[in-house]
Amino acid sequence: MQTDQVLSALYECFRGKGWRLYTCTTCNNLIFSKNAKTLCWRRKECGQEKKFLSLPKQKAMVVPGQIKDVIEKAATKKGYNRVESIPLTANHGKTDLIIAGVQLYNDVIHGKAIQSCFPDRCVISQPCVRMQFADKVGKVDGISTAFVNTCTEHVGATVVEHAFAVDFWLDVLSCLGLHVCDVSLVYRTKKRNWGTGDFLSHDLFFMYGDLELGDASYAVVPTRCAGGSGVLQISDVGFGVERIGWAINKTDTYYDVLQPWDMQYTTEVNDLYRTLTLLAMTGVKPGPKGAGLQFRRLAKQLYLLTPNIFSFGLVSYYFRYWGSFTTCLCGLEVSSSVISREYDRLRNNGIASNNNWPAPKNDESTEEYLERMVYSKIVTPSELRKMYTP
């Protein structure tokens, strides 16, 4: 699909509704906007930081679960089939964990099925984990390792149908109280590869002021599928539900949308509990490779940041949060114990090597390990109290 073909089809669809096309004077990105826009705001040099916070505020705050419900209801009215989120462990492709809702078509893309078991046109709210910006959590506002990607997917869509999908989302944002005049769509093309060959994706970024809420991609993706056309022509429009929440609530930081207000722990620690809880409740267990290894890395980071205390309270907080978006395979008790066992394993190894004590047993909780050290007369209870009272 030629670049100009997609762009002009999009332009044709939006022109009648008062949208004009501008060019960012800093980076040359094309911008669809209802106001004369000279900056795309996608990068620091293309606009001011957190400008969206000065846009009109609404009276009531919303939680991400409510946003998801509004979107899904509107989408089903427009004929999208609602699909439950898929398990977080990606079976095929380049990632260990699901990073976007469009991966529900992984089977077809990677040649494991001729036809997807999911409908061609659907709406899905998919919890995702992206580790590539993990070091920016708490340092750059708006970043978390886990988030909900609510998307509409349309397999076999024409460009015009894709433009309809974009239009649907503009309506939804407006229903949610985000004024369309404050939204601009920044266009770019990007060469991509999902492990089945290069393809060009035509992306429109939904910018609310300078905050990126989501993007609409149109692409013809090569597939490994033996039967069929060998390509998946797809309209994939996805939003970060928490980002939309921040845009609506306009709290001082993005993390106010995600974390308990009391902030007993740092943003980094909260992010680790948040993502580990999601992994545990969707059945991921610590292991030597793939998703299990990601679990181990996160747990290790958690142990290094807070080596003396494990918070069951935070696990239960995030368990409730993810419960609105995912069918949990493991209940709260099992999920907490999967995380705390891994945490305790690291903690026990740390205690043993710091004190030169006998090695901990597999699957021994820290409480059990310390008790065993007391009963083997390695340490006395009063010495232990001195060592481990926070």
Applying CB under 5 A, the residues found at the interface with Zn ion are: 24, 26-27, 29, 40, 46
Of the pair 29, 196, the CB lying nearest Zn ion is at: 29
CA distance 134 to 130: 8
The CB-of-188 to Zn ion minimum distance in angstroms stands at 10
Our measurement of the distance from residue 163's CA atom to the centroid of its chain's CA atoms, rounded to an integer in Å, reads: 24
The CB-of-23 to Zn ion minimum distance in angstroms stands at 9
Burial of 342 (0-12, 13-18, 19+ CB in 10 A): buried
The CB-of-46 to Zn ion minimum distance in angstroms stands at 3
> CB within 8 A of 26, min separation 6: which ones?
39, 40, 43, 45, 46
The CB-of-162 to Zn ion minimum distance in angstroms stands at 23
Of the pair 31, 276, the CB lying nearest Zn ion is at: 31
Number of neighbours of residue 235 by Cβ within 10 angstroms: 26
Of the pair 46, 185, the CB lying nearest Zn ion is at: 46
The CB-of-24 to Zn ion minimum distance in angstroms stands at 3
Of the pair 186, 299, the CB lying nearest Zn ion is at: 186
Of the pair 40, 185, the CB lying nearest Zn ion is at: 40
Helix (H) or strand (E) holding 332: helix 332-355
CA distance 335 to 339: 7
The CB-of-47 to Zn ion minimum distance in angstroms stands at 7
Of the pair 23, 158, the CB lying nearest Zn ion is at: 23
CA distance 295 to 97: 10
* DSSP output for 199-217: EEEEEEEEEETTEEEEEEE
Of the pair 210, 344, the CB lying nearest Zn ion is at: 210
The CB-of-94 to Zn ion minimum distance in angstroms stands at 28
Number of neighbours of residue 60 by Cβ within 10 angstroms: 8
Number of neighbours of residue 289 by Cβ within 10 angstroms: 9
The CB-of-43 to Zn ion minimum distance in angstroms stands at 6
Give yes or no for a contact between 221 and 194, defined as CB atoms under 8 angstroms apart: yes
Burial of 290 (0-12, 13-18, 19+ CB in 10 A): middle
Calculate ∠ Cα 169-177-102, nearest 5°. 30
Give yes or no for a contact between 239 and 214, defined as CB atoms under 8 angstroms apart: yes
Of the pair 24, 244, the CB lying nearest Zn ion is at: 24
